[in-house]
């Protein structure tokens, strides 16, 4: 069930969010495919998720 939309910070498209979305959850923009992080729920704010770097066991 989709209950909210937010603007993609990469392509400015409307991103549909599930009803049970939580802060810090990663979602994908349906238009550009960017991975986004839910920064806050009130107000609803998305940011581009940081790239994860390999640890290589160090």
Task: Domain ranges for the chain, please list them.
Answer: 2-48
2-48, which class in CATH? mainly beta
Alpha carbon 23 to its chain's center? 9
Query: In this predicted model, which residue has the larger pLDDT, 27 or 4?
Result: 27
Q: State the Rg of the chain over Cα.
A: 13
Strands of 26-28's sheet in order across: 26-28, 35-41, 44-48
pLDDT tens digits for 18-29?
Answer: 889 999 999 999
pLDDT tens digits for 36-48?
Answer: 999 999 889 999 9
* DSSP code string of the chain: -EEEEEE-TTT--EEEEETT--TT-EEE-TTT--EEEEEEETTEEEEEPPPPPP-TT-
């Amino acid at each position: 069930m989709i209950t909210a939309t937010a603007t993609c910070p990469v392509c400015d498209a409307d991103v549909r969010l599930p009803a049970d979305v939580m802060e810090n959850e990663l979602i994908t923009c349906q238009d550009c495919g960017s991975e986004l992080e839910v920064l806050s729920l009130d107000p609803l704010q998305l940011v581009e998720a940081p790239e994860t770097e390999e640890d290589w066991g160090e």
